[in-house]
Amino acid sequence: MPHVITSRCVGTKDQSCVEVCPVDCIHPASDIDGPEAFAASPQLYIDPEVCIDCGACVPVCPVEAIFYMDEVPPEEEASIEENRRFYHA
């Protein structure tokens, strides 16, 4: 899992990251997954199977919620498991 979106995204769900992602690995996105799926999720998540680890999403996140997995702050480590659960539920 190269990059992780942390709980800092909760309540914001800014889709700037979705717009710059070259492989559409960030979900649920309103244009990709539909407005209902987007509204139902508390935050966005990065699909570890699709992410190519380009990092394009990191600088555009207005709440600085995206980190390389090994650099997730200790207080946000639960976000790693949340991301896994979203894609493997």
Asked whether the predicted pLDDT for residue 89 surpasses 90, the reply is no
Choose among 11, 26, 3, 2: nearest CA to 62.
11
Work out the mean pLDDT of the chain and round it to a whole number: 95
Asked whether the predicted pLDDT for residue 57 surpasses 80, the reply is yes
Average pLDDT over residues 57-80: 97
Backbone angles phi, psi at 17, to 5 degrees: -65, -40
**Exposed, middle or buried: residue 66 (CB in 10 Å: 0-12, 13-18, 19+)?**
buried
The percent helix, strand, coil of the chain (3-state, each to 5) is 40, 10, 50
Could you tell me the domains of the chain? 3-88 (3.30.70.20)
Strands 66-68 and 45-46: unpaired
